[in-house]
Amino acid sequence: EAQVTQNPRYLITVTGKKLTVTCSQNMNHEYMSWYRQDPGLGLRQIYYSMNVEVTDKGDVPEGYKVSRKEKRNFPLILESPSPNQTSLYFCASSLAGAHNEQFFGPGTRLTVL
């Protein structure tokens, strides 16, 4: 089944404890991206990647890192999480670029205490 998977689905952590949220797609998509969803603010793009080893900042990249060492994986790294990064995170992928249909993962709900 074609899908985007994220792990974990739920995470509660404490300020400053490094964490990684994994994202994997099995559709051989070139474009992958991360979003956070917050009440009243909608969906905001954190980082995106056009292909392996190519990443770029979205609208809210501060406090986040990403890497794209393999085409199928695009992990989101929070080196030192803070409470303002409490949010619902979505990974998405598409065939080639933002103008193609985006396929979203199920989301990761992160709480930073």
Partner 1 sequence: GDSVTQMEGPVTLSEEAFLTINCTYTATGYPSLFWYVQYPGEGLQLLLKATKADDKGSNKGFEATYRKETTSFHLEKGSVQVSDSAVYFCAPVNFGNEKLTFGTGTRLTIIP
Cβ distance 68 to 25 under 8 Å?
no
Q: Is there a cis peptide before residue 8, judged by omega within 30 degrees of 0?
A: yes
Q: Which of 33, 85, 87, 93 binds partner 1 (CB under 8 A)?
A: 33
Please say which residue, 96 or 113, places its beta carbon nearer to partner 1. Answer: 96
- Whether the CA torsion 74, 80, 85, 87 is positive or negative: it is positive
Footprint of partner 1 on 50-69 (CB under 8 A)? 50, 56, 58-59
CB of 39 vs partner 1, minimal distance in Å? 10
Q: Environment class of residue 90 by beta-carbon count within 10 Å: exposed (0-12), middle (13-18) or buried (19+)?
A: buried
Q: Which of 27, 43, 77, 113 binds partner 1 (CB under 8 A)?
A: 43
Footprint of partner 1 on 88-107 (CB under 8 A)? 90, 92, 97-99, 101-107
According to DSSP, residue 53 is labeled T
Please say which residue, 60 or 78, places its beta carbon nearer to partner 1. Answer: 60
